[in-house]
Amino acid sequence: GARGRPERLWPVHRLDRETSGVLLLARSREACEGVRAEWGRARKTYLAVVQGAPSADAGVVDAPLWEDKHL
């Protein structure tokens, strides 16, 4: 924030609470209200980091996420 003051943030949405719990925050009330008003039109795109080479450049994965408890 300006002159060392903390900046005010507004919580907009908790993205995929069941998986990552990433928060979307707005820097103004107006931005928060605008995003919330249009949230139903939002599309989420995920980027995955994989080991090896995927068989296709793009596609749909319809499976639950898995966490390796040994890593």
Q: Which of 16, 57, 62, 68 is catalytic?
A: 16
The structure tokens listed for 11 are 């919580």
- 16 catalytic residue (yes or no): yes
Q: DSSP letters along 17-61, please?
A: TTTT-EEEEESSHHHHHHHHHHGGG---------SS--SSSS---
**Which residues have a catalytic role annotated?**
16
